A and B are shown apart, each in its own frame.
Chain A
Amino acid sequence: AQSVTQLGSHVSVSEGALVLLRCNYSSSVPPYLFWYVQYPNQGLQLLLKYTTGATLVKGINGFEAEFKKSETSFHLTKPSAHMSDAAEYFCAVSISFGNEKLTFGTGTRLTIIP
C-alpha cells in the first residue's frame, strides 16, 4: 500500500518569497506522483506530475517539483510567490498506470502575505 505525508497543514510566505511545500511518500513499487491545487469552492486542478524519466518536473503557474527516490520526497517549489497562489495544495501518489486510485496527502493551505 502507498501513503503520502505532507508536512505542515498551513504555510505562510510573503509575496515574492520562495514557496516550499513538502511531500514524502511511501510505496512498495515505483510510484507516480502528483501535485494538485484547489482554490476555494472549486475542484482539484493538476499542477504537475512525475511518472518516469526526468526527476525535475515543471508544472503550471511557475511551480516545479523534484522526485528524490533516496529521500522518498516530492517537494513542490516556486521561486517567487504571487497572491494568486493562495490555495490548498495536495500531494498524491498512485501505483496504477491508470491512476484511478490516487492516495492523497492531507493537504497544505498556502497563505500569501502582502
Chain B
Amino acid sequence: NAGVTQTPKFQVLKTGQSMTLQCAQDMNHEYMSWYRQDPGMGLRLIHYSVGAGITDQGEVPNGYNVSRSTTEDFPLRLLSAAPSQTSVYFCASNPRLAGVDTQYFGPGTRLTVL
C-alpha cells in the first residue's frame, strides 16, 4: 500500500489564482480529513468526510471547498488564493473500524501564496 499520498509537494500561487490539492489513499478508509499547519498554531481542521458523498466543515473552512466522489480521493480546492492561505496542508485518513482509531497522515503540501 502507498498509504496516503498528496500532490503536489510544493506550490507557489499568485493571489486570486485557483488550484486543487490532491489527496488519495489506497487503504479503503472511510474517513478523510484536511488540516493546515501554521507556525505556533498546530494543525487545524479544514474539512472532513465520513464517506463518499458526505463532507462537513471543520474549524477553518472559509476559502476552501471539498468533494468526495470516491472512497479513495479527497481533493481540496482553493477557489481564489489569498496570502493567508500560505501554509502546509496535510491530508489524513482513518479506517473507523472497531478498536482502530488512528489517523494516517500524508507527507504534506507546502503552499505559498504571493
Q: Which of A68-87 contact B (CB under 8 A)?
A: none
Main SS class of interface, A: loop
CB of B108 within 8 A of CB of A43, answer yes
Name A45's closest neighbour in chain B (CB-CB): B105
A-B contact pairs, 15 of them (CB 8 A): A36-B105, A43-B107, A43-B108, A44-B103, A46-B102, A90-B43, A99-B31, A99-B94, A100-B31, A100-B49, A100-B50, A100-B94, A101-B45, A102-B43, A103-B59
By a beta-carbon cutoff of 8 Å, the part of chain B in contact with chain A is: 4, 30-33, 35, 40-45, 48-50, 58-59, 90, 92, 94, 96, 101-103, 105-108
Contact with B42, one of A46, A49, A105 (Cβ below 8 angstroms): A105
By a beta-carbon cutoff of 8 Å, the part of chain A in contact with chain B is: 4, 9, 32, 36, 42-46, 49, 51, 90, 92, 97-107
Known: A43-B107, A43-B108. A99 touches B40 (CB 8 A): no
Q: Which residues of A contact B45 (CB under 8 A)?
A: 101-103
Q: How far is the CA of A4 from the CA of B59 in the complex (A)?
A: 14
Q: How far is the CA of A42 from the CA of B88 in the complex (A)?
A: 11
